[in-house]
Amino acid sequence: MKEVLSVKNLGKYFVKGEFSRQKETIRAVDDVSFSVKKGQTLVLAGESGSGKTTIARLILRAIEPDSGEIVFDGIKIDNSTTILKKMRTECQMIYQDPYASIDPRMKILDAVREPLDIHNIGRPNERKELVFSALSDVKLDPQEIALKYPHMLSGGQRQRVAIARSIATKPKLVIADEPVSMLDVSVRLGILELIKELQDKHDISFLYITHDLATAKYVGHEIAILYLGKIVEAGPIDEVLLQPRHPYTQALLDSISEPSPDNLHKEKRIRINEPLKIDTYKGCRFRARCPYAIEKCKQEPTLEEVDNHRYVACFVEIN
Amino acid sequence: MATFSVEELKVQYHSRNSTVKAVDGVSFSLDDKESIGVVGESACGKSTLGLAIIRSSSGGKIVSGDILLDGKSIVNMTEVEFTKTMRWKEISMVFQGAMSSLDPVFPIKQQFKEILKTYDYNDNHIKTIENTIDLVGLDSSVLDKFPHELSGGMKQRVVIAMALLLRPKLMIADEPTTALDMLTQAQVLDIFKKLKKNTSIMLISHDLGIISEIADKVAIMYAGQIVEFGTLQEVYSNPKHPYTQALLRSVPKIKGKSEITSLKGNPPNLVSPPAGCRFYDRCPQAMEKCKKMPPMIKIKTGYTSCWLYE
């Protein structure tokens, strides 16, 4: 299957305390490789600080990577204007907070039209049509909504507008950074369904960034679990979430509370330890909290294929 | 015997031109050491309900109804009397986003002492504080730290400890795990699980999963009203109201290929809510009768307000 995006050995380091005597390097993204297949959704999952948003920003060149390469649609991304321009038309982003991502002083029509104007897509007199078709794609009534301002819409409607704007330029890849975490439970599913539908209709690939594994399973085909800037486990989403191979994935799954009356009298058991005070960058990064840690874990494990398309970076067999 | 009950409570926000009926006739009751989960979408009035119980709702006025703790009405108390006998001593609250409300310029211990001083606490201050911090699974060394030295999960635990400081009978917790990471969230839930053995907890959340870890009884709120109330077991495994059913069906799950369906439409405006059932517009089973407000209909362990069960 054709790959739309492939990321190889990506790295980004931030220096903390640049002006103080004790400098500390945070390896926000460290030797990360993955690829997104055409018409599929790859989920990047992890807790805050795992580097998932940094990866999104690196792909869009909002920040410069320190190492590694990004290949989009067969072209290696660098800083030349033509390549960046292609990248920024064909790769779009949906942000977490629809209350902040749409300019409050722009009418919906203008907000969705803006990327078309910037990238010079369609003749100016055709653009309104394009905006209307994008709005219908996200199940909003263009006639009703086009001349409204964002404050007149609900959270779910706003996120639909943000999605309409991201698909207006007919992108090949959309990066969605926690697109439903700010929305109400009842609205969430509608947005997830919409994402799946747009994918089928326009053959868009999604890079779906989230910490919520249950919604991830609903939209995703493959998943990569990040822990402190490194991928610890990757593979087809159903397999990874139903039979985790990495202790961290297992702990994340333990921590999920699914609505069930049996939870009340069950003790919640998460297979994780209180963190030890050790240097996280020496050896396996999860070693400090891992209940399965062995002596060998002082070396850094690499992400290796253990089964058909299943990748794990761990020395221990947990099952 | 019910020790905590809310009867026909109505809370409204008044502005110049309109009145928002945020809580509109809510009733439920809890036995001793029973915990309740209040679930609903944003703007359904669940936070207002919590704030009204501890009488801290800014702008929201209790128009009618009653709140009884151990048979004593707290609605008619004067503000002074409420502060002196009830607030924090009998009923306390972990507010939404409370962990960011810790004062950045004082160490944690100081902020605990402030509470004890405000409520004229006579016992040994340090001992009480240390015992309380132990209840939430923190080491007493955090007491000398400043808020910026603590992680999100630790701060949340500190705020929960503050609510427990005077050993209240009821602790209201409004979305206590929302801003936390998954693993930390599970740890905080674990603490609530232990605490609920001694204190009634009223957990306000939009997350049906979290509620199912804590709540003995569940109230499903929609547009200012409780549409279904009952034991967790009953509400989750045998939901009656179409809204409860829809809500439970809309949650994606990890295990199994469960069929999930989304809920279409938006909740009604609470300035001028419809005269009939408020779920009418979104309800797949709506009928002619639903244009009239449904009564509270008794079901196995609680009640539901839906004409289907008349």
Q: Using CA atoms, how far apart are residues B60 and B70, in angstroms rounded to an integer?
A: 24
CA nearest to A156 within chain B = B266
| B172 and B135 both lie in a single domain | no
B189 in A contact zone (CB under 8 Å) = yes
Listed in sequence order, the DSSP H helices in chain A are 52-59, 81-90, 108-119, 127-137, 142-145, 155-167, 185-202, 213-219, 237-242, 247-255
pLDDT surpasses 60 at A258? yes
CA nearest to B41 within chain A = A184
Chain B residues close to A217, C-beta within 8 Å? 252-254
| B58 and B114 both lie in a single domain | no
The pLDDT score that the predictor gives to residue B42 is 86
**CB-based contact A214 B254, cutoff 8 Å:** yes
| B85 and B194 both lie in a single domain | yes
| B36 and B184 both lie in a single domain | yes
A106 in B contact zone (CB under 8 Å) = no
| B52 and B79 both lie in a single domain | yes
The pLDDT score that the predictor gives to residue B100 is 85
The pLDDT score that the predictor gives to residue B178 is 85
CA nearest to B261 within chain A = A189
Nearest to B186 among A214, A242, A270 (CB): A270
The pLDDT score that the predictor gives to residue B40 is 92
Average pLDDT, chain A: 92
Please tell me the distance in Å from A295's CA to the nearest CA on chain B. Answer: 25
Residue B98 lies in a domain: no
Q: Specify the CATH number for the domain of residue B190.
A: 3.40.50.300
Nearest to B186 among A185, A217, A268 (CB): A268
The pLDDT score that the predictor gives to residue A281 is 83
The pLDDT score that the predictor gives to residue A16 is 83
Nearest to residue A227, comparing CAs of A319, A290, A270?
Answer: A290
The pLDDT score that the predictor gives to residue A206 is 97
Q: What is the set of domains in chain A, with CATH numbers?
A: 3-103+170-242 (3.40.50.300), 243-319 (no CATH)
Q: Using CA atoms, how far apart are residues A133 and A142, in angstroms rounded to an integer?
A: 8
C-alpha radius of gyration, chain B, whole number: 20
**CB-based contact A185 B185, cutoff 8 Å:** no
**CB-based contact B262 A190, cutoff 8 Å:** yes
Q: Report the predicted TM-score, pTM, of the whole model to 2 decimal places.
A: 0.91
Please tell me the distance in Å from A139's CA to the nearest CA on chain B. Answer: 12
**pLDDT higher at B57 or A65:** A65
Q: How many domains does chain B have?
A: 2
Residue-by-residue pLDDT tens, chain B, 310 positions? 568 999 999 999 998 889 999 999 999 999 999 999 999 988 899 999 999 999 988 889 999 999 999 989 999 899 999 999 999 999 999 999 888 889 999 999 999 999 999 998 888 999 999 999 999 999 999 999 999 999 889 999 999 999 999 999 999 999 999 888 889 999 999 999 999 999 999 999 999 999 999 999 999 999 999 999 999 999 999 999 999 999 999 888 888 666 788 888 888 989 999 999 999 999 999 999 999 999 999 999 999 999 999 8
Which band of pLDDT confidence, cut at 50, 70 and 90, is reported for residue A1?
low
The residue length of chain B stands at 310
Q: Using CA atoms, how far apart are residues A44 and A56, in angstroms rounded to an integer?
A: 10
Residue B95 lies in a domain: no
**CB-based contact B186 A214, cutoff 8 Å:** no
**CB-based contact B182 A267, cutoff 8 Å:** no
| B156 and B203 both lie in a single domain | no
Please tell me the distance in Å from B193's CA to the nearest CA on chain A. Answer: 8
Say if strands A41-45 and A3-16 run parallel, antiparallel, or are unpaired: unpaired
Nearest to A264 among B183, B187, B213 (CB): B213
B86 in A contact zone (CB under 8 Å) = no
B216 in A contact zone (CB under 8 Å) = yes
| B108 and B150 both lie in a single domain | yes
Nearest to B183 among A217, A257, A270 (CB): A270
Which band of pLDDT confidence, cut at 50, 70 and 90, is reported for residue A160?
very high
Residue B96 lies in a domain: no
Cβ atoms B132, B164 nearer than 8 A? yes
**CB-based contact B254 A241, cutoff 8 Å:** yes
CA nearest to B235 within chain A = A261
Chain A residues close to B223, C-beta within 8 Å? none
Name the phi and psi angles at B69, rounded to 5: -115, 120
Cβ atoms A151, A104 nearer than 8 A? yes
Which band of pLDDT confidence, cut at 50, 70 and 90, is reported for residue A278?
confident
B281 in A contact zone (CB under 8 Å) = no
Structure tokens at A170: 């007919």
A211 in B contact zone (CB under 8 Å) = yes
Which domain-ending residue is among B122, B148, B167? B167
**CB-based contact B212 A255, cutoff 8 Å:** no
| B84 and B108 both lie in a single domain | no
CA nearest to B244 within chain A = A186
Whole-Å CA distances, B136 to A115, A263, B104, B109: 50, 20, 21, 15
Which domain-ending residue is among B167, B183, B207? B167
| B191 and B260 both lie in a single domain | yes
pLDDT surpasses 90 at A8? yes
Chain B residues close to A141, C-beta within 8 Å? none
Cβ density class A217-236: b for 16+ within 10 Å, e for less: bbbbbbbbbbbbbbbbbbbe
A228-250 tens-digit pLDDT: 999 999 999 999 999 999 999 99
Q: What distance lies between CA B136 and its chain's CA centroid?
A: 19
The pLDDT score that the predictor gives to residue B138 is 93
Sheet holding B19-31, edge to edge: B19-31, B2-14, B60-69, B72-73
Listed in sequence order, the DSSP H helices in chain B are 46-53, 79-85, 108-118, 125-135, 152-164, 182-195, 208-214, 232-237, 242-249
The pLDDT score that the predictor gives to residue B299 is 93
* Consecutive H or E run containing B201: strand B200-205
Nearest to A214 among B216, B236, B252 (CB): B252
Q: Given the structure tokens 């805050």, which residue do they identify?
A: A48
Residue B50 lies in a domain: yes
Residue B99 lies in a domain: no
| B65 and B157 both lie in a single domain | no
- Number of C-beta neighbours around residue B76 at 10 A: 11
The pLDDT score that the predictor gives to residue A2 is 87
**CB-based contact B182 A255, cutoff 8 Å:** yes
Structure tokens at B99: 């962990």
Q: Given the structure tokens 């362990």, which residue do they identify?
A: B301
**CB-based contact B216 A218, cutoff 8 Å:** no
Q: Using CA atoms, how far apart are residues B37 and B57, in angstroms rounded to an integer?
A: 19
CA nearest to B222 within chain A = A186
Chain A residues close to B187, C-beta within 8 Å? 270
Which band of pLDDT confidence, cut at 50, 70 and 90, is reported for residue A296?
very high
Q: What distance lies between CA A185 and its chain's CA centroid?
A: 20
Chain B residues close to A263, C-beta within 8 Å? 209, 212-213
CA nearest to B243 within chain A = A186
CA nearest to A49 within chain B = B181
Residue B52 lies in a domain: yes
Q: In DSSP terms, which residues pair with A311 in a beta bridge?
A: A234, A305
Structure tokens at A190: 């509608």
The pLDDT score that the predictor gives to residue B149 is 92
Q: Using CA atoms, how far apart are residues B50 and B170, in angstroms rounded to an integer?
A: 11
| B220 and B263 both lie in a single domain | yes
Nearest to B181 among A47, A189, A192 (CB): A47
The pLDDT score that the predictor gives to residue B225 is 96
Which band of pLDDT confidence, cut at 50, 70 and 90, is reported for residue A183?
confident
A181 in B contact zone (CB under 8 Å) = no
Please tell me the distance in Å from A308's CA to the nearest CA on chain B. Answer: 21
**CB-based contact A258 B253, cutoff 8 Å:** yes
Which band of pLDDT confidence, cut at 50, 70 and 90, is reported for residue A44?
very high
Best probe of the B interface among A41, A158, A185, by most B CBs < 10 A, is A185
Please tell me the distance in Å from B36's CA to the nearest CA on chain A. Answer: 12
Q: Using CA atoms, how far apart are residues B305 and B298, in angstroms rounded to an integer?
A: 9
Question: Number of A:B CB contacts under 8 A?
Answer: 115
Residue B59 lies in a domain: yes
B3 in A contact zone (CB under 8 Å) = no
Whole-Å CA distances, A66 to A33, A175, B254: 14, 21, 36
The pLDDT score that the predictor gives to residue B257 is 65
**CB-based contact A214 B213, cutoff 8 Å:** no
DSSP codes of every residue in A260-319: -GGGGGS------PPPP-S-TTSS-TTGGG-TT--GGGGSPP--EEEETTEEE--SS---
Domain that holds residue B216: 2-90+168-309
| B260 and B287 both lie in a single domain | yes
Residue B97 lies in a domain: no
Nearest to residue A209, comparing CAs of A16, A60, A1?
Answer: A60
Residues sharing a CB contact under 8 Å with residue A243, sequence separation 6 or more, in sequence order: A319
